[in-house]
Amino acid sequence: MKDGSWGSGSEALAVEAYKTKEVDFKFRGRNFRFALSHGLFSAADIDGGTRFLLKVLSKTWDDDIRQGRPLPKTILDAGCGVGVLGICAGAVLGSGGPRRVRCQDRDELARAFTLSNAFKNNVSTDILSAHTEPLLGGPFLEPWDLILSNVPAKAGKPVLEDFVSRSAGLLTPSGRVILAAVNSLAGFFRSRILKTGAAVLHDETGKDHTVFVYGSAAVRAKPIQTGEQFFLDHPFYQRNSGGYELEGVSYTLDAVQGVGDFDSPGGTVRSAAKLITRLYTRKQFLSSIGSMLIHEPAQGHFPAWFIHYLARELPGKPFFPDLLVLSSRNILALEGSRHNIRKVREITLETVPLADLNIGRERLSRATGYDLIVAFPEPVPRTDRIIPLWEGITALLTPKGIAVLGFPASEAERFDRKKPQSVTRLCDSKHKGFRALAYQIR
C-alpha cells in the first residue's frame, strides 16, 4: 500500500487496534465523526486549540467570500494528529473544484488515523493524502495557499521558530498560515512572525489558545528533507550532545528535538544493555548476528552503545552487523538514531516508519528473518498489544534468533506470562522499575 492511500491493509488494522473512541463534530454546517486514540494527542475529544482554529478559519472564509477572494486550492495540515483540520477543510472545499490537502505528522499512527478518518468522512484520496514526516517536511515543490497547524508546543522552541519562518516562506503570494498556540507561547509566536517580515493579518485570543493568521514572507523557503543530511541541513532539530556510558562502554550521542531519552538512556535501555552482556555463550551468539532489527530506538542510545560494545567484544570484525533495520512510529526517532549510528560506523542501515512490530510487518519482512530483535514497545492505555507483539516477533525472527524486549516491570510481567509455548525465556535483567527479557524460539 502506497504512502497516502487508504484501504483494508495496515492502516485499517492500526486504527482498529489503537482506537479509543469516536466523537461527533460539526464544521460549517457539516457533520463529521472522528476516531481518537490514547496513543495520539487529545484522546478524549477534539481539543480546544483545534476548535478555536477552525472557528477563526470559518470566519476567514466568510470574509473571503464577501470580498470576492478565491478560497484556497492547496492546503497543508502540519502536525495533523487524527486529521481534523485537513479533513474538515478538504470536505468543505472539495466540491468547489480541484483541491489538494496534504496532512503530515511525525507519528506513523497519526497517518493511519488521518487516512481512516478521511475515509469515514467521505474525503477521497484524490483530495487528501497523509504522510509520516516532520513539520513542513516533504518533497512538495509548489507553494501552499493555506497552511494550518495546531502547533505542538513540545516540539521545542528552535523547531517552532523555524516553523514560523519556513511556513511563511512556503506560501503563495496571497497565501496564509493559520496557527493555534497555547497562550503561554503567544508572545513567542507574535515576535517570531514579525521577525519574518510576514504581515500579521489577524490574531485572536481565547481562554487557553491564541490563533494567528499571517501571510507570505518575501524570502522563499524549502520544505524539510529527511535522510542522511537531516541534522546538517536542519541543525535546529539537534537538542544537545553528550557522552554516555553503559555497562563499561562509552559512546557519544546527539539528541534530537521531539524524542524521549534526550538527557540519558532510559531504564529499558539500561536493562537491555545489561541483559546483552549476560547472554550465555555471548561471543558465539554475537559473532553469528548477520541481521538485526531495533524497534523504537528513541534517540539511538541502544544501537550507538551496541555497535561500540560489538567492537570491544569482536575487534576483528570490521562491519557488523551486516544489516541493521530501525523501525519506529516517530520519524524523528528514526532520523536521530540513523544520525547517531552513522557517527559510529558506516553499516547497511534501513529505517521504517511502523505503528508496531505486528501491524505492517510486511515492510520489515526478510526471507531469512532477523538474528536479533531488540524492541522497546511503548504501552498505549486501553489497548492490549501483547499477543500481536508476540506474533510479530515470532514471524520476524530466524529459527535460532534471539529477541530482547524492554518494558516497565509490570508490563514485562504481563508480556512474559503470554509467551507462546514455542518460545523459551533465556534470561532477564532489571533496572529501577524496568525490565528486559531475552527469548529464543525452540
Q: Quick one: pLDDT at residue 153?
A: 84
Could you tell me the three cell numbers for 323?
A: 544489516
Q: Quick one: pLDDT at residue 190?
A: 96
Q: Please count the residues of the chain.
A: 442
Give domain limits for the chain. Answer: 10-214, 230-441
Q: Quick one: pLDDT at residue 121?
A: 96
Q: Are 137 and 77 in contact (CB under 8 A)?
A: no
CA angle 38, 44, 47 (to 5 degrees): 110
Q: Quick one: pLDDT at residue 334?
A: 97
Tens digits of residue pLDDT in 354-381 = 999 999 899 998 878 999 999 999 989 9
Name the one residue in this structure whose C-alpha cell is 544501537.
Answer: 303
Cis peptide before 381 (omega within 30 of 0): no
Task: Tell me if the domain spanning 10-214 has CATH number 3.30.565.10.
Answer: no
Q: Quick one: pLDDT at residue 281?
A: 56
Q: Quick one: pLDDT at residue 2?
A: 44
Measured between alpha carbons, how far is 331 from 334 in angstroms, rounded to an integer? 5
Strand blocks (E) in 228-303? 238-246, 249-256, 291-295
Q: Quick one: pLDDT at residue 7?
A: 52
What average pLDDT is seen over the chain?
A: 92
Alpha-carbon torsion 333, 272, 416, 262, what sign? negative
Which of the residues in the chain have pLDDT under 70? 1-8, 95-98, 280-283, 318-320
Residue 405 main-chain phi, psi, to 5 deg: -125, 140
CATH tag for 230-441 (out of 3.20.20.70, 3.50.50.60, 3.40.50.150, 1.10.10.60): 3.40.50.150
Buried b (16+ CB within 10 A) or exposed e, 133-147: bbbbbbebeebbbbb
Q: Quick one: pLDDT at residue 319?
A: 61
Measured between alpha carbons, how far is 437 from 396 in angstroms, rounded to an integer? 17
Could you tell me the three cell numbers for 40?
A: 495520539
Q: Are 16 and 7 in contact (CB under 8 A)?
A: no
DSSP 69: P
Measured between alpha carbons, how far is 326 from 335 in angstroms, rounded to an integer? 10
* Topology agreement, domain 10-214 and domain 230-441: yes
pTM value?
Answer: 0.95
Could you tell me the three cell numbers for 412?
A: 514485562
Residue 276, classified by CB atoms within 10 Å of its CB into exposed (0-12), middle (13-18) or buried (19+), is buried
Measured between alpha carbons, how far is 22 from 43 in angstroms, rounded to an integer? 10
Q: Quick one: pLDDT at residue 318?
A: 63
DSSP string, 359-426: TTGGGT--TT-EEEEEE-PPP-TT---HHHHHHHHHHHEEEEEEEEEEEEHHHHHHHHHT--TTEEEE
CA angle 276, 282, 283 (to 5 degrees): 125
In Å, how far are 158, 260, 431 from 267, measured between CA atoms?
28, 12, 6
Q: Are 91 and 121 in contact (CB under 8 A)?
A: yes
With the CA atoms of 108, 182, 72 and 197 taken in that order, what torsion angle do they form, in degrees rounded to the nearest 10?
-110
DSSP 330: B
DSSP 225: -
Q: Are 261 and 298 in contact (CB under 8 A)?
A: yes
Q: Quick one: pLDDT at residue 216?
A: 96
Residue 410 main-chain phi, psi, to 5 deg: -65, -40
